[in-house]
Structure 1
Amino acid sequence: MQKKQESAHASRAGTQKQSTVQTQGGAQTQKEAQKHAGAQKQSGAGAQKSAQILPAQLVPYRKYLCSAALIVSFFLFLQVLDADMGPVVKFVAALIILAASGEFVRRSYSLDGGWGLIMLRSKKGLSLIDRIASENQTLLKWLADIGLVVSFGLLSYFMMSKEARKPRRLLALFILSFPILIFLAAAVAPSVFPILSSALNTIDFAQTGQKLRAEASGVPIFSLVLLASLFVGGFALLTALSLLGYSIVVLAAVANALLGNSAPLDNTSPGAAFILPGINLPFFEAIFALAIMLIVHEASHGLLARVGKIKLDSAGLVFFGFLPMGAFIDPDEKQLKKTDMHTQNRVLVAGSASNFATSIALFLMLILFMHATYDFRADAVRVEAGSLPRGSALLEINGTLASSSTPLYAQEGMLKLNGKYLGSFENITFEPNSTLSMLTDRGAFSLNATETGKIGILYTVVQKSGAGWLVYYPNNALLMFIYTCLALAFALNFVVATINLLPLPFFDGYQALAATVKNKYAVQAIMLLLLAAFAANFLPWLFK
């Protein structure tokens, strides 16, 4: 019996010894094996699927195969950009190319992600986040609470802890927060769509904003509701009501079109649009803008998570095919859900709060940039939509400078047409049935006015002073590139900050609502209502 025990003990010792010996052929130690098993576990089901994408004999060549796949997808992407097809078809084609190449690379290397998104995880940068968070805990908590008030208005009271709701602290918080909320609503928000439209040539964002404002002004009580919602529920409630309001406009236009009257739908722009660099956003400028927006957003989540003693699992970069789409930071989700409500809401709102702050900084930079480059600005009329190429500068009409011609000219910072003051966007009217020669920076065109004198273009005056300062059109390519980068970064930061507050699946607003409201049925009902409104805003694309 004793010999058997000694034999068994020796056998176990021999096995343990053997397992720690690395042979010349490259056998793994137990430590390496555990590390490898952990990596397989982290990659999850994706690792099991990726093992099937390449035959065993091709695995040694996957570096070359993946490089070839990305190069081919890049050239196919360029072909789609130059193809003569509608914007929706072009968008879908580019999406398929990027998703296919991204998924091939992801599965070949057992990387995290899915549907073409590749997540490259790392622990780098986490120590820096730890250090910043530990040295600035009080400041970061205050900034997050200001973000809560800006995002959720007076309703943020119910999203905080009892300690944070002490009268003196709460009063100081509101005194700091509401001026920021008012500045964002009164100065920054009205500039977003005009600036975005001036930087892009594919989507008429300005018309959507105008349509919603026109509908609101036609119903005074609706305007009052929107104003009250800003103070009661911050940008979260204002955005939700605006989304619902414009979805009603869209659905009414679609209903009219189905009944045979397509005019309302023709004049209704989509309230939402998917964006993709190179398709409906300038490629390099969009990459720059998205990088700023995502890095700021995700870093803020990480900082507030560490302030709340929540572990960060990893950080990294996200690619969609060959396109870099931004960065991410992964807090421990289980630990986050176990923390108190206020800590959760601070972490969740941090992304939008930082995007709001970034949009303010970029807004001020844009103003300084446009004033600093005063002498480089073009004096022209910029075409926003219609029968001339969108984004072109209209320089002459029948040999007369467009910026000082009759009936179109600018005076005292306002646009005028036949002596009547106009808004920033208006249809130009000329002599009925006349023929006009238009000289633009993209060539000469001849247009025939209709019986009512319309030529079907929407314009904005671009001058060195006066109206049109939001529509910046420099006569220098480098300045235009810088402006477009700043404009896109500004607009995307603000848009993402507001949209992210909506209680929609995968948005921070949904998690904040779920953390605050304990009635799951109420949370689901609100989510489904806004999800339907969000989908309705895409409907006009189906009729383009």
Structure 2
Amino acid sequence: MAAENGGRLSTTAKIRISFVAVASLLALYADYISAIGILNQILLGLVVLFVSGMIIKKIGSLNGGYGVYMISTGKGIGTINRIAKSHKSFWNNMALWGIVLGFGIFSYPIVKGKISKGTFAFGIFTILFILLLVTPYFSYSLQFIDLPGLQARIASAQTASASSGVSPLSYLSLVITVVFGFSGFVFFSLLLNSFSILLAVFAIFQHFAANGIVTTKPLQGVIPGVAPIIPGLDIPLIAGVIALAILLVAHEFSHGILSRIFKVRIKSVGLLLFGIIPIGAFVEPDEEKVKKLDAISQNKIFSAGISANFVLMFVFFVPMLLLLVFALPHIYVQKLIVESTTPGFPANGVIAPGAQILSWDGVNVSTLSQLEAAAAKDVPGSVVTVLTNQGGHSFIAKPENGSSRGFIGVDVGQVSSPVVNTPLKSTEYFLYTVFALSFMFNFLVAVVNLLPLPGFDGKRIYDASVKDKRITNFLAAVVVVTLLINIIPWI
């Protein structure tokens, strides 16, 4: 760890920084387990990180500001040099593969004459493989992200997909991604979510015009397209830090490796932290030498980090899948939770939302299929006995909409929760958490980096490949507008 003036930190400074880091870690953990609400947790966590970052910056005389500071060093450059000297063909092909993933069929003018037909076809095949066979598993990773309404939205989407099949928008997204790569995918996703948010805002204005009352209910079903992901606040602390650190180091080291392959000197490497949370890593090449390279060499350097993140996505996907199939069935237990009760039916006001249903008509139930089978014999006028974790109840079933079935008026959802009551289960669940988060975060970092925004790899690829800068500036402006719209649900 180097100080701003190039000197090393004293032992006293290291001890003081360690004390601040531990105190910050404990404060974040206390915030994570508190019951003050997710938005308050995020705000409090940001304050903790801001204050700890400012203190650490001052103690170590580090570059940075507003709680963010940079740790730079010369360590790691030797490792980058050694890797760059071996398997040059692999790293070149991986970078070209990443360009195809990033820009799909549209990337052909960029890589024409520099990529084999097999590598190009493999890139297009990889796009289809990811969309059709990999992305459906992101729902397993999203369960570790604690954002308002996210889990309900996932469950709703899964139910809608199961009942109506693949939507036309899914086919459109598939076509766009094959043609324009994952840059088109992320751009289309932001536009689509922006449209949903604007429709919700329009509904709010309509309600106000008709009733003179402002309601935010239409926005409650919309997930913000932009959200803070902070270990210890909305994702697990230790697993989240490990996942972020791995993807950031791999991303930046890959930039450095391709830079060295093209004889560009690396000045320094390091980490960017907010408080104690790594939010970025960097490899600082000689930018003047990078600018003197031809366009395809520059694009290989710029796409290297994106390519590495796609590779890591697959690397973590495999063990996540293995644990999902072989370990998690022994860790997770299924529960039936009452989500709401219907006014006018016997259970309303008797069984509270959040109660767990243990048995129905004397039959132990823990899944919706078991509940459906147990309740199949209920008819209007029959006695229905329900045992919950809050007590037992008996009701007289009532008909609904002329149905021959009897109902007591409870809406029930099935939830899964881990039971990690042994060291083996705890270890398996922790590893599963790390793999699941790494799997998803590597994908997200790869596709978001393709956006044509300043400081993003995508912007540098556009600048090196598109002569008319007005096109790049227009796309960047559209992305900025969509990002601002996607923040609206947080306001």
- TM-score band w.r.t. shorter chain: 0.7 to 0.9
Q: Unpaired segments of 5 or more residues in structure 1?
A: 1-35, 44-58, 411-416, 420-429, 463-470
Q: Aligned partner of 1:180: which letter?
A: T
- Note if contact 2:295-2:464 (Cα within 8 Å) is conserved in structure 1: yes
Provide Cα deviations, 1:52-109, integer angstroms capped at 9, x if missing partner: xxxxxxx997566555544544444344334442322221221122122212322343
Equivalent residue in structure 2 for 1:353, among 303, 307, 319? 307
The yes-or-no answer on 1:186 pairing with 2:135 is no
**Paired position in structure 1 for 2:366:** 402
For residue 225 of structure 1, report the CA deviation from its aligned partner: 2.9
Provide Cα deviations, 1:220-256, integer angstroms capped at 9, x if missing partner: 6644432221111111101111110111001211221
**Paired position in structure 1 for 2:471:** 522
How far, CA to CA, are the matches of 1:389 and 1:491 in structure 2?
A: 36
**Paired position in structure 2 for 1:366:** 320
How far, CA to CA, are the matches of 1:389 and 1:496 in structure 2?
A: 42
**Paired position in structure 2 for 1:116:** 67
How far, CA to CA, are the matches of 1:208 and 1:502 in structure 2?
A: 25
The yes-or-no answer on 1:88 pairing with 2:42 is no
**Paired position in structure 2 for 1:311:** 265
- Note if contact 2:147-2:234 (Cα within 8 Å) is conserved in structure 1: yes
- Note if contact 1:235-1:498 (Cα within 8 Å) is conserved in structure 2: yes
Equivalent residue in structure 1 for 2:141, among 196, 202, 214? 196
Closer, same or farther in 2 for the Cα pair 1:219/1:125, shift >3 Å? closer
- Note if contact 1:299-1:329 (Cα within 8 Å) is conserved in structure 2: yes
For residue 290 of structure 1, report the CA deviation from its aligned partner: 1.0
For residue 459 of structure 1, report the CA deviation from its aligned partner: 3.5
Closer, same or farther in 2 for the Cα pair 1:459/1:528, shift >3 Å? farther
**Paired position in structure 2 for 1:237:** 184
How far, CA to CA, are the matches of 2:338 and 2:288 in structure 1?
A: 49
- Note if contact 2:267-2:285 (Cα within 8 Å) is conserved in structure 1: yes
The yes-or-no answer on 1:158 pairing with 2:109 is yes
- Per mean C-alpha deviation after superposition, the further-off stretch among 372-381 and 493-502 is 372-381
**Paired position in structure 2 for 1:127:** 78
How far, CA to CA, are the matches of 2:481 and 2:392 in structure 1?
A: 43
TM-score (norm 1): 0.72
How far, CA to CA, are the matches of 1:199 and 1:273 in structure 2?
A: 14
- Per mean C-alpha deviation after superposition, the further-off stretch among 200-209 and 116-125 is 200-209
Q: Aligned partner of 1:510: which letter?
A: K
> SS of the residue aligned with 2:367?
helix
Equivalent residue in structure 2 for 1:501, among 434, 450, 455? 450
> What is the percentage of aligned positions where both structures have the same residue?
28
- Note if contact 1:380-1:394 (Cα within 8 Å) is conserved in structure 2: no
> SS of the residue aligned with 2:223?
coil
- Note if contact 1:208-1:271 (Cα within 8 Å) is conserved in structure 2: no
For residue 208 of structure 1, report the CA deviation from its aligned partner: 5.0
For residue 370 of structure 1, report the CA deviation from its aligned partner: 2.7
Equivalent residue in structure 2 for 1:490, among 439, 447, 455? 439
The yes-or-no answer on 1:257 pairing with 2:204 is yes
Describe how 1:221-236 pairs up with structure 2 within 5 A: 222-236=169-183
For residue 196 of structure 1, report the CA deviation from its aligned partner: 1.9
Equivalent residue in structure 1 for 2:275, among 318, 321, 335? 321
Q: Unpaired segments of 5 or more residues in structure 2?
A: 208-214, 342-350, 401-406
- Note if contact 1:202-1:280 (Cα within 8 Å) is conserved in structure 2: yes
For residue 320 of structure 1, report the CA deviation from its aligned partner: 2.4
- Note if contact 1:305-1:347 (Cα within 8 Å) is conserved in structure 2: yes
> SS of the residue aligned with 2:414?
strand
- Note if contact 2:310-2:443 (Cα within 8 Å) is conserved in structure 1: yes
- Note if contact 1:316-1:327 (Cα within 8 Å) is conserved in structure 2: yes
Closer, same or farther in 2 for the Cα pair 1:75/1:456, shift >3 Å? same
Describe how 1:384-395 pairs up with structure 2 within 5 A: none
Q: Aligned partner of 1:273: which letter?
A: A
TM-score (norm 2): 0.79
Provide Cα deviations, 1:337-364, integer angstroms capped at 9, x if missing partner: 3322212211122112111111112212
How far, CA to CA, are the matches of 1:384 and 1:110 in structure 2?
A: 55
How far, CA to CA, are the matches of 1:186 and 1:61 in structure 2?
A: 54
Q: CA RMSD in A?
A: 4.2
For residue 257 of structure 1, report the CA deviation from its aligned partner: 2.2
Provide Cα deviations, 1:7-41, integer angstroms capped at 9, x if missing partner: xxxxxxxxxxxxxxxxxxxxxxxxxxxxx9x974x
